[in-house]
Chain A
Amino acid sequence: MRWIRATRRGPRRGDGAMRASLAPALLLAVAALGCHTSLSPPIPAEHGDDAPPRRGGTLRLATFKDIRGLDPAGPTEGVANQAIHAIFAGLVDFDDRGRVVPDLADRWEIAEGGRVYRFTLHEGVRMHDGEELTADDVKRSVERALHKTTPDPSASYFEGIAGYAAYAEGTAEHLDGVVVEGRYVVTFRLEEPDATFLSVLAGPTLRPVCRSAGDRYVDTWQPCGAGPFKLAPGGWRRGASLRLVRHDGYFRAGLPYLDAVEWTYNMQQLTQRFRFEAGELDFLHEISQADQTRFAGDPRWRPFGSTDADTTLYGESMNTTMPPFDNVEVRRAVAAAIDREHYRLLKPAYVTPLDQPIPPGIPGYASDDVRCRRGQRYDYAAALEHMRKAGFPYDPATGRGGWPYPIDYVVYDQGLLIYTAQLLQQELAKIGLRIELRLVSWQTFLTLQHRRGGAAMSPGNWAMDYPDPSSFFEPLFTTRAIGPESTDNTAFYSNPRFDDLVARARGELDETQREALYREAGAILCDEAPWAFTFSYHFVSERQPYVRGPLQHPVWYVDPTRTWIDRSDRLAEPPAGSESP
């Protein structure tokens, strides 16, 4: 509560002028000390690039976020999912290009036109408790995750499994759609054909858990799965750190290489950089723009920098039920008036300009789709023409015309979005749309944006739930996504033709035809512009040279299963529970 104190004392001192002159001096001092222009040199690997992987060592990671839980069926978020993925193997997983590949299941077959998915488990898989994984464990884990008492925020993603409704309501004891057909064979029966089922299944929610988890979710359960790493005794210190150690019985022989992986939570960005330079962190994922410039400008570090896949979608969401955005020509004018390059320049290393509803890191992104280029690319003359067609012609020379009323733009206090909001304000002023920024808290923002009539215009952003166009199209733009109280379709966009295309794509198992359907659906979005699609955001990373093998992952951000440490002084393990200074 120091800020309260500062406010209370401020007026009593009457030395504001001197105070004002001293604070910048101190700031300069910190800048001089903390923001060295020169970085410490990278710590070299012990062996050459062609050296084989070595076992041992601990990979140390950090984040400014915290995790809430490690149960795949409980409330989790991106940071926790990194650890959950390491602890719990799934029937299927995503490879390093985001494609679904076998994991605990050796193979699967799809029958009855996409209504039946039959998985054959890898035999002899040992869970962390030493028990063998069987089809019964899979069914038990699924029923545990989807039970009505489980606080699973993703349960409805599995509503297509036969019998889900009755099970979720509690009128059925078991989930009929999950059938054990032998010790190592389990079948999922779906109500309708679903081409996204494998992608959804590869997520964390239904990953098999040890028998100690029981049939029902409890908060006190100690995470236990079949993944390459297991929770060390006392390894999770809430709000501070997490330590996972190698699961020696992991079913992929020889993996993982690392003895342990440690995450430190709630660590400030600047502290992360200090620790990374000192070799106390091995991988830096949350880099400030200033530090990114520094790393990118240092030839010693340049080879060790990398960029995450673009899997997030940003845009300007326009409420199609509120004026003036109930007029499609106004929306088209907005989509054509925004110069995406200006957005990129705000944070060049992190922002990829976007002219369509699929980010570049998602299958289905079409860099050559000319249908979107027309509507979602900067074209000032076209924007003015759309305003004229809308009935609100605007004359840039005189500044006369346009929409006569100010438009509320609801935004929350997040660095980049505050800047893009101001850019948008300037861009739209040039076509006669006056934007008034309304800055609210994140919670208020969510409430307003998700409620009908809550916000005429607001920044839209969406991170993929799984790498597939349906992860963007269905929640953001289908009529079905609009609920009576709340919705993720913040534009309240409704188009039966679009809905039909997306529904058909979900049931279409042929990849080529499915892609064609999504392209057609995407073209409708580009033309009718419920959003003006603006950019995709990605993180940039640095790793120490001694961190070898694959580490970054398009879905899990990091996957240390095949990573190894090539640094001689790091093969000796510190005592359990210790925290590096």
Chain B
Amino acid sequence: MQHISDKEFDHLFKAGLADAEVKPPASLWDQIEPQIAARKKRKMPYRWMAAASVVVALSAGIIFMQSADQPNYVQQSVKNDLKTTSDLKAGSEKAAVKENAAKQAVDADQPDVVVKTSATESLSAEVIPTPLEETSTPSVRQNEKTLIAMQPLAPEPHLIHTTPAQQAEQTVELAVAAPDMGTALASTENPTATALDEEHNAEQPERARIRNAGDLVNFVVDKLDKREQKILEFKTDDDDNSSLIAINIGPFKLNQRKHK
């Protein structure tokens, strides 16, 4: 072999090395395995957090607005909510199915304000078990309760007495969740507790801060989502008619005005 062309020379290497095999050290897999597991876990909660926030925020908003108008529309609102939610995010499908179950529970119950409470109750109960991060769970739950506590009709004596078990559970959960929350929320523990005793005065200071559903959702989202552009933002200037002005779910963004 006197002379070898570049092509031949390259081929020599390609043939010799393209399918070459070199056994890696046996211990390498043990280092790879934990990395796959860790990354998977980190990915999930964020997606579920987003889905759960949308479900909670929408249902909270709609139920709250309905309570200002006619209580009889509750069933329909839950239905609307179901539709909007599944339109908004495919990821929330699971939650939506469960919501459906909640709706059926509503159908079975009497169409009263109690239904609202139980619908919200089971909704939050269903949403919570999804793998939210531990720290965020109490705040979602807490605020859902806050909403219930602030519903003007909720403290009515006969309604409360129809669901003593739920109220008791609420109080227990609030007591458990309270240490994690700031002072502002600590005071929201009182309305529910006092509601049981049919005393409403403790509600007043909290109402001044969170006047409507939009405020509430903004507050919840603020707790959950530390980005500058929140996953959801409501305009709350117009008292009872809060309107959605900004959404930021990863690639899907909507912002109707410049951020404050």
Q: Do A and B bind each other?
A: no
B residues with a Cβ closer than 8 A to A are none
